[in-house]
Copies of this chain bind each other. A is one copy, B any other.
């Protein structure tokens, strides 16, 4: 006689992406979302008054590598149904930044008190998605090994301007041995919706980075003698652009604490 099958009368386990959102919503989760709900895409958040929405949409359309749009809310809505059931953009991210006139004025765990009827929310792809593809092929990711935030740099690469939005691209950097760098190009090329292939590698000064040890965001990591720095367009670019466009109001996620969506990373693979 066969062993008994699993108990089918038990309630289905909660989806891990929703579990992460509920943990943030309840205040139990306030730190990094790295490694949570593996397999599910995470997203950068940018929230702007509707008066800026058309310009920002055009900016994202014109700059798909730093600003790959995964979803956009209706005006005044605090959810994006295509990215998850039971998703509350006001509280499902562990940390938020509140901006007024381009100045960071507050960091909060719950943005509900700041939400307004005229806001539009933009969810932008995150490098966690392609990092999962690298990890799956045993390509070491230094900032994970060293348990710090990925180093990010403001570059000399101009984004294509759109309306009030313009500025330089922010990139994240991962040091890789050359064969891994080649493989990483192949792997991340499969994910154009989550930054896609690197934008640069090997010669940081060509994109205005003078010192890898001094990132503009995140933390420095070790670059070994047998490695080259590989640079990807980064979803922090919108925060840099918002800081210079100085819209009257904005909400963004706090870097490293992302929106965990119900979408699978594999949904975004083109081949």
Contacts and interface: CB of A to CB of B under 8 A. Distances in A.
A157 B178 CA distance: 13
A35 interface: no
A206 B226 contact: yes
Interface in A163-208: 177-179, 181-182, 185-186, 189, 197-203, 206
Given A178-B206, A206-B178, A271-B271, A201 B228 contact: yes
Nearest to A198: B182
Interface residues of A, number: 19
Interface string A190-234: 000000011111110010000000000000000000101000000
A203 B182 contact: no
Contacts of A179: 199-200
Chain A, interface SS category: mixed
Contacts of A202: 178, 181, 201-202, 228
B197 A178 contact: no
Contacts of A189: 186, 189
B186 A201 contact: no
A199 B182 contact: yes
A45 B177 CA distance: 33
Given A202-B202, A271-B271, A197 B182 contact: yes
A202 B177 CA distance: 10
Interface string A221-264: 00000101000000000000000000000000000000000000
Interface of A: 177-179, 181-182, 185-186, 189, 197-203, 206, 226, 228, 271
15 contacts: A178-B200, A178-B201, A178-B206, A182-B197, A182-B198, A182-B199, A182-B200, A182-B201, A185-B185, A186-B197, A201-B202, A202-B228, A203-B228, A206-B226, A271-B271
